[in-house]
C-alpha cells in the first residue's frame, strides 16, 4: 500500500466516527487496573510476583471500584525483556505458576464481577522460540518465512536505515542464512511475518487457547508494529517539531526518523480484521485493546477503532511523552475530543514503560511536598476525561518515582541508553503491601527481583487503609462516584479554552446532561469563569468557592459541577 492508502485509511476513519450505543458495551469507557505481574505479589517466595498472588489480591482490586484488570506477560520466556520476549504463548513461566493457576484466577475474577484481560504480544517472539530456531537455521525449512528476513544491501550492510526503539539498527545478522532479521526492539525479539497465513493461524490459535478458558479479552502489545513496508523503504529524517510520542530519553536515536515504513503501515489493517474476527467468534464477543506508541497516536487512533472489524479501543502515550506544558495538554485534549469516538480510548498517565505519573507530570507539586494532592488530581482527571482509563498498580497509592542506582538497573532499554535514559525499573518496583514486613509484604525472599524503595514504605496499602485522607481512599471515592454517573463512559467532551494558565477545564455532555470539570495544577488559587451559572458541585477535593458562574479553585484542587 502507498502513502495515499495510508491517508485514505485515516480520512475514512475520521469521517466515519460512530456514536456509542446506549447502553454502551461493558468495555466502552471502562476503568481497568494494570497488574505488573513481576511486582504485584509473590506467594512462592522466589522473589517474583506470581499468578496466585494476583488471585490473592483480587478483593483489593475489586474494592478499588474498577471494572476489570489486565496482566503483563506471564508466558514462558528467557526474561530478557521481562516477558515481552515470549518463547511459548500457551504456557506459564514456572516462577509465575501454572496454567491451572491461571484458570483459577479467571474464575475467581469473574466470581467478583471483574473482567480480566491478558497482555498478548502479537508482533514478535523471543529468539528462543522453537519457531525462530527453525526459521533461522536455513532458507529452505518449513518456517523459513515465518519471520522478517532480508538480504544485505550492496555494501553488505542492513537493507535499510530502520532503527530499533531500544537503540541501534533494527536488523540482526544471522550467519546461517546469510541474511538480516528484522527486530524492532531488542536483538532477541525477531519480528513475525504476519502476512504469512500459517503464522497468523498459529497466533490466532494461541489467542483461542486463553479465550477458551473464559478470558474476557487481550491488551495487544505495540500494535503499531504489526506489519511493515513491503518494499522495506528507508525512513526519512525527522525535524524536531515532527517527532511523535517516543520514549527512551531526549537523545534516543529512534527520534531522528519519521517512522513511515516501520510503524503504523496500511498493511496492518487487514491483520486487525483477522484478529477481530477471532474476538467476535465468542459469545459475548471478547475485547481487544491496543497499545499504540511511537506515532502521532491522538490523530491516528481512530484508524484502529473505526467500524466493528478492528480494535475495540486503544491507549497511547501522547499525554505522557508529548505534552511539556499545560497548554500542550489542553491542545492535545481538544484534538482527541475532536477525533475520537467517546469510549474508544483509555486515558493513561503512566504504565510499566513510563515514570510514575505524579513525579513525571507534576514535578513542581512534588518538590513543594504536595505530591499526594497532585496524585489525587491526576486520578480525578483519568476518571473524568472522555474515554476510559487504565490505572497502573501503585498509582492508587500515589507512589512517586524512585531513583534506581546504576548497579541495580535491569531494564535492557536503560542499559542501552544510560545515563541519558533512566529506564523503567523505577516504575516496576514491587508494590508495598505492609509496612514493617519483609519486602513490605511483597515477598518473603531474601533477594526479590527488585527491592521496595524506602520512600514507598510509608505509602503501603496497610498504612493507607487506616487514613481516610489517603490517596487510596480518594481512589476508591472517585471511582465509586464515577460509577454513579454512567454518562461519563460515553459523553462527548468539550475542552474549555478560556481558562487560567494552570487550569484544565472541560464539559462532558450527553442527552441533555452536562458535567463541568476543572483541575488546578498550580500551587496558588485560580479563578475560572464557568460556561453557565446555577451549577452545583457533585464531587470535589481541595478548597473552592463558587459564586454564580465564578469559581475559585485552591491549589491542586479539583471539582465536578452539574
The pLDDT value given to residue 242: 62
Beta bridge partners of 79: none
> Does the structure show a pLDDT above 90 at 41?
yes
pLDDT in tens, 286-327: 999 999 988 888 888 999 999 999 999 999 888 888 777 888
pLDDT for residue 250 = 82
- Bridge-partner residues for 314, per DSSP? 290, 345
Tens of pLDDT, residue by residue over 403-426, are 999 999 999 999 999 998 899 999
C-alpha cell at 397: 497509592
Q: Provide CB contacts within 8 A for 471, sequence distance 6+.
A: 372, 375, 376, 379, 396, 397, 398, 459, 464
pLDDT cut 70: percent of the chain above it: 98
Q: What is the pLDDT of residue 116?
A: 98
Which three-class secondary structure state does DSSP give residue 238?
coil
Alpha carbon distance 205, 207 (integer Å): 5
Greatest alpha-carbon pair distance for the chain in Å reads 77
Residue 18 clears pLDDT 90, i.e. is over it: no
221 is catalytic: yes
Going through 348-423 in order, the beta strands assigned E by DSSP cover 388-392
Query: Taking Cα atoms as reference points, which of 96, 113, 81, 78 lies closest to residue 41?
Result: 96
Top pLDDT among 487 and 319 is at 487
pLDDT value of position 10:
80
pLDDT at 146 over 80: yes
8 A C-beta contact, residue 341 and residue 19: yes
What is the predicted pLDDT for the residue at 546?
97
| Mean predicted confidence (pLDDT) in 97-104 | 98
Name the average pLDDT for the chain. 95
Q: With the C-alpha atoms ordered 57, 63, 64, 65, is the resulting torsion angle positive or negative?
A: positive
pLDDT of residue 244: 65
Check residue 71 and give its pLDDT: 98
The C-alpha R_g of the chain, in whole angstroms, comes to 23
Res. 220: pLDDT tops 80: yes
pLDDT of residue 106: 98
Residue 231 confidence (pLDDT):
97
Q: Which of 89, 94, 190 is nearest to 145 (CA)?
A: 190
Q: Which pLDDT does position 298 carry in this prediction?
A: 84
Name the residue among 387, 391, 425, 420 with its Cα closest to residue 405. Answer: 425
Decide if pLDDT at 461 tops 90.
yes
Q: Closest by alpha carbon to 50, among 95, 86, 110, 91?
A: 95
What pLDDT score was predicted for residue 156? 97
What pLDDT does residue 295 have? 85
Q: For residue 34, which phi and psi values (nearest 5 degrees)?
A: -90, 125
Average pLDDT over residues 191-201: 98
Q: What is the DSSP letter of 44?
A: S
Strand-pair category, 115-120 with 217-220: parallel
Whether the per-residue pLDDT at 94 is higher than 80: the answer is yes
DSSP track, 354-376: S--HHHHH-HHHHHTT-HHHHHH
CA 404 – CA 423 distance, rounded (Å): 9
pLDDT at 167: 86
Q: Provide mean pLDDT across the span 141-148.
A: 98
Q: How many CA atoms lie within 13 A of 348 on its CB side?
A: 30
**pLDDT band with cut points at 50, 70 and 90 for residue 241:** low
Long-range contact list for 92-99, CB < 8 A, 24+ apart?
A: 92/51, 95/44, 95/46, 95/48, 95/50, 96/37, 96/48, 96/49, 96/50, 96/51, 97/44, 97/50, 97/51, 97/52, 98/51
- How much is the pLDDT for 269? 94
**Range with the poorest average pLDDT among 1-5, 121-125, 362-366:** 1-5
Angle at 502 between CA 501 and CA 503, to 5 degrees: 100
| Separation in Å, CA 64 to CA 50, 67, 215, 374 | 21, 9, 21, 19
Question: Band of the pLDDT at 531, cuts 50, 70, 90?
Answer: very high
C-alpha cell at position 426: 523505577
**Average pLDDT, stretch 428-452?**
98
CA separation, residue 45 to residues 36, 295, 443, 444, 447 (Å): 17, 40, 6, 5, 9
Q: From CA 256, how far away is CA 240, in angstroms rounded?
A: 8
Q: Are 248 and 167 in contact (CB under 8 A)?
A: yes
Choose the catalytic residue: 85, 119, 127, 221.
Answer: 221
Mean pLDDT, residues 241-269: 86
Q: What is the pLDDT of residue 324?
A: 77
Q: Which of 262, 291, 318, 411 is catalytic?
A: 291
At 143, list the grid cell: 518456517
Q: What is the pLDDT of residue 267?
A: 93
What is the pLDDT confidence band of residue 240, given thresholds at 50, 70 and 90?
low
Structure-block grid coordinates of residue 458: 510509608
Pairing mode of beta strands 345-347, 179-182 = unpaired
- % of the chain exceeding 90 in pLDDT: 84
State pTM to two decimals.
0.97
> Could you read off the pLDDT of 318-363 as tens digits, one per residue?
888 877 788 888 988 998 888 888 989 999 999 999 999 999 999 9
**C-alpha span between 222 and 413 (Å, rounded):** 16
pLDDT at 3: 56
Amino acid at each position: 500500500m502507498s502513502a495515499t492508502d495510508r491517508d485514505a485509511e485515516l480520512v475514512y476513519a475520521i469521517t466515519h466516527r460512530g456514536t456509542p450505543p446506549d447502553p454502551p458495551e461493558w468495555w466502552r469507557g471502562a476503568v481497568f487496573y494494570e497488574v505488573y505481574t513481576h511486582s504485584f505479589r509473590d506467594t512462592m517466595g522466589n522473589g517474583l510476583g506470581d499468578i496466585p498472588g494476583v488471585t490473592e489480591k483480587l478483593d483489593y482490586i475489586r474494592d478499588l471500584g474498577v471494572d476489570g484488570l489486565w496482566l503483563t506477560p506471564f508466558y514462558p520466556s528467557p526474561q530478557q525483556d521481562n516477558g515481552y520476549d515470549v518463547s511459548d504463548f500457551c504456557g506459564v513461566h514456572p516462577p509465575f505458576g501454572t496454567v491451572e493457576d491461571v484458570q483459577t484466577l479467571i474464575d475467581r475474577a469473574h466470581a467478583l464481577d471483574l473482567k480480566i484481560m491478558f497482555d498478548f504480544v502479537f508482533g514478535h517472539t523471543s529468539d528462543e522460540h522453537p519457531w525462530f530456531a527453525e526459521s533461522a537455521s536455513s532458507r529452505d525449512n518449513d518456517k523459513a518465512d515465518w519471520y522478517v528476513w532480508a538480504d544485505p544491501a550492496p555494501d553488505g550492510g542492513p537493507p535499510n536505515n530502520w532503527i530499533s526503539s531500544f537503540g541501534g539498527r533494527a536488523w540482526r545478522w544471522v550467519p546461517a542464512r546469510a541474511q538480516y532479521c528484522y527486530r524492532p526492539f531488542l536483538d532477541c525479539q525477531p519480528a513475525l511475518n504476519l502476512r504469512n497465513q500459517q503464522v497468523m493461524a498459529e497466533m490466532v490459535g494461541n489467542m483461542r487457547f486463553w479465550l477458551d478458558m473464559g478470558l474476557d479479552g487481550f491488551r495487544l502489545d505495540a500494535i503499531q508494529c504489526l506489519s511493515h513496508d513491503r518494499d522495506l523503504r528507508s525512513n526519512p529524517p525527522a525535524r524536531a517539531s515532527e517527532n511523535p510520542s517516543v520514549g527512551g530519553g531526549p537523545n534516543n536515536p529512534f527520534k531522528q526518523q519519521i517512522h513511515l515504513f516501520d510503524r503504523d503501515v496500511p498493511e496492518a489493517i487487514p491483520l486487525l480484521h483477522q484478529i477481530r474476527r477471532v474476538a467476535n467468534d465468542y459469545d459475548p464477543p471478547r475485547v481487544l485493546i491496543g497499545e499504540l506508541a511511537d506515532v502521532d497516536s491522538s490523530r491516528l487512533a481512530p484508524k484502529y477503532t473505526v467500524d466493528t472489524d478492528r480494535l475495540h479501543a486503544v491507549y497511547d502515550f501522547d499525554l505522557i511523552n508529548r505534552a511539556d506544558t499545560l497548554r500542550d495538554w489542553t491542545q492535545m485534549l481538544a484534538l482527541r475530543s475532536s477525533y475520537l469516538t467517546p469510549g474508544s480510548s483509555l486515558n493513561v498517565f503512566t504504565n510499566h514503560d513510563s515514570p510514575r505519573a505524579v513525579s513525571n507530570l507534576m514535578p513542581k507539586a512534588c518538590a513543594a511536598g504536595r505530591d499526594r494532592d497532585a496524585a489525587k488530581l491526576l486520578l480525578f482527571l483519568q476518571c473524568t476525561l472522555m474515554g476510559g482509563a487504565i490505572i497502573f498498580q501503585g498509582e492508587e497509592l500515589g507512589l512517586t518515582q524512585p531513583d534506581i542506582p546504576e548497579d541495580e538497573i535491569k531494564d535492557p532499554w536503560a542499559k542501552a541508553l544510560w545515563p541519558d535514559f533512566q529506564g523503567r525499573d523505577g516504575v516496576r518496583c514491587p508494590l508495598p503491601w505492609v509496612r514493617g514486613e519483609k519486602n513490605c509484604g511483597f515477598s518473603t525472599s531474601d533477594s526479590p527481583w527488585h527491592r521496595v524503595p524506602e520512600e514507598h514504605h510509608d505509602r503501603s496499602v496497610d498504612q493507607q487503609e487506616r487514613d481516610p485522607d489517603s490517596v487510596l481512599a480518594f481512589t476508591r471515592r472517585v471511582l465509586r462516584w464515577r460509577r454513579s454517573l454512567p454518562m461519563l463512559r460515553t459523553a462527548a467532551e468539550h475542552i474549555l479554552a478560556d481558562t487560567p494558565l494552570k487550569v484544565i477545564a472541560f464539559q462532558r455532555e450527553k442527552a441533555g446532561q452536562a458535567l463541568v470539570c476543572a483541575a488546578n495544577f498550580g500551587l496558588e488559587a485560580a479563578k475560572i469563569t464557568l460556561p453557565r451559572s446555577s451549577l452545583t458541585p457533585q464531587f470535589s477535593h481541595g478548597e473552592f468557592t463558587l459564586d454564580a458562574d465564578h469559581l475559585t479553585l485552591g491549589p491542586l484542587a479539583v471539582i465536578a459541577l452539574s
